[in-house]
Amino acid sequence: MAGKRRQAGVTMHDVAAIAGVSIKTVSNVINGYPYIRPETKERVEAAIAQLGYRVNISARNLRQGRTGMIGLAVPELSLPYFAELADSVIRAAERHGVIVLIEQTNATRERELEVLTSQRRHLTDGLIFSPLALGTEDRDLFAVDYPMVLLGERIFGGPADHVTMSNVEAARAATRHLLETGRRRIALIGAHEGETVGSAALRQQGYEQALAEAGLPVDPALIGEAGLWHRATGAEAMDRMLDAGTPVDAVFGLNDALAIGALHALHARGIAVPDEVAVIGFDDIEDAAYASPPLSSVAPGREEIARIAVDLLLQRVAGTAPAEPVEVITDFALAVRESTVGAGALVRPAEGAVVA
C-alpha cells in the first residue's frame, strides 16, 4: 500500500471489462453522451461504483489541452482583503465548474515576474493576477500568450483585460465624508511617495481633490508613508505622526489594515474615536465592521470584481471575448460606521449604512 501506486489504479479499461462494453462506451457514459441504451448505462455505472473508479484528470487534460483550472495570483492570503477576494473568486469559478489555483507573490517583484512565466501557467487555462510590485514600466510583460485578467491599479492600458474600481472617486468620497462631518485635519496613512501609479497614488489623488474642493491645503505633515499596507505599518505611521505632535482630527487609512493599525495606535494613547479623531478605511473587509469602534470604509464590491474577472477570463479561454483588451470599472459604496459618525449609529455593523 505504502506510496507507489496509491490510486487503486482503476482505469476505464477495467470498468469496460467488468461492464462488458468498450472503453469508448464508458467514456460516453461519464461524459453524458445522450445516445446510450439505458441498460448499458446502468451496467457501466454499476461497474464504476463497484470499482470506485474516478476519471484521471491528468489524462483528460492532456487529451483536451485544457485543465479546468485557473490561476489566482495575489500577494498574501494573510492579508484579509486578499483572503476574501480569493474566497469570492473560488465561489465564482465554482459556478462555472472551474478550479482555482492560488499563488502567493509576497508582493515581490521577483515572484510577480515568475508568476507570468511559471510552469504553472501550463497547469491553468488562464490567470487572474493582482500585482503589487510590477508597474507601468513592466506593462509589456503582460502581453502573454494565455488568457489573463489583471486586477488592481498597477497596470492601466496594458495588453490584458483589466477589472478595477474608480479609486480616485472612491477616495474622494471617503475624504469628503470626513469633511462633511466637520473634520479639517485629515491624516492620510499609507502614502507611497514618488509613485504615480498604483492604489496609493490614486487614492491620495482623490484625497487631495476633496481637500481642494473644500478649499483646504494639503499639509505634508498629514501624509503618512507606509510601504506595506499591513496593520503594523499603519500603527507605526500613526505613531510617527502623533509623536511629531501633528494635530489630527481624522485619519484616512488607504486600506482597512492601515486604518485598523491606526485605530490601535490611537487606542494605545487613549485618544477617543471618533470623538477626538475620526477614522475611515478602504476595502471594507469583514474586520472593519467588527473593529472597536466599527470602522467606516470604502466598499469596493469585492464579489462583483471577482465575478466579472472570472467571467471575463473564462470568455477569454473560450475564445468568445472581444479581440481588444477589456477594461471594466466597478462601482463602490461608502460603508458608514461608528468610527466616523459616533455612537449615534449604533447599528449591527454588518448592515452599516451604505451610501452610494
Binding site for DNA (CB under 7 A): 9, 11-13, 20-25, 27-28, 30-31, 33, 35-37, 40-41, 53-56, 59-60, 62-65
* Residue 31 site contact among DNA, its own copies, none (CB < 5 to 8 Å, cut-off depends on kind): DNA
Which partner in DNA, its own copies, none is near 226 (CB below 5 to 8 A by kind)?
Answer: none
Shortest Å distance, C-beta 124 to its own copies: 10
Integer Cα distance of 239 and 41 in angstroms = 70
Does the footprint of its own copies cover residue 4 (CB under 8 A)?
A: yes
**Least Å distance between CB 35 and DNA?**
3
- Between residues 11 and 166, which has the closer beta carbon with respect to DNA? 11
Binding mask of the shown chain, residues 46 to 85, with x at each position contacting its own copies by CB under 8 A: ------x-xxxxxx-xx--x-x--------xxx-x--xx-
Distance CA 111, CA 310 (A): 23
Q: Which is nearer to its own copies, 203 or 302 (CB)?
A: 302
Cα 316 to Cα 87, 113, 141, 156, 326: the distances in Å are 22, 22, 18, 19, 10
Which CB, 40 or 166, lies closer to DNA? 40
Q: Of 198, 206, 300, 349, which one interacts with its own copies (CB under 8 A)?
A: 349
Region of 117-125, 128-136, 153-161, 162-170 interacting with its own copies (CB under 8 A):
117-125
DSSP-derived 3-state class of residue 127: strand
Q: Which residues in 96-109 are b (16+ Cβ under 10 Å) and which e?
A: eebebeebbbebee
121-157 as b/e: b if 16+ CB within 10 A: beebbbbbbbbbbbbeebbebbeeeebbbbbbbbbee
β-sheet with 186-191: strand ranges across? 223-225, 186-191, 250-253, 278-282, 296-299, 333-335, 354-355
Query: What are the cell numbers at 130?
Result: 493582482
160 part of the interface to its own copies, by CB under 8 A: no
Q: What does 23 bind: its own copies, DNA, none (CB cut-off 5 to 8 Å by kind)?
A: DNA
Q: Where does 53-205 show beta strands of DSSP type E?
A: 69-74, 99-104, 126-129, 148-151, 161-165, 186-191
Site for its own copies in 287-316 (CB under 8 A): 287, 289-294, 316
Q: Which is nearer to DNA, 62 or 123 (CB)?
A: 62
Q: Is 37 in the site for its own copies (CB under 8 A)?
A: no
Closest approach of Cβ 143 to DNA, in Å? Answer: 22
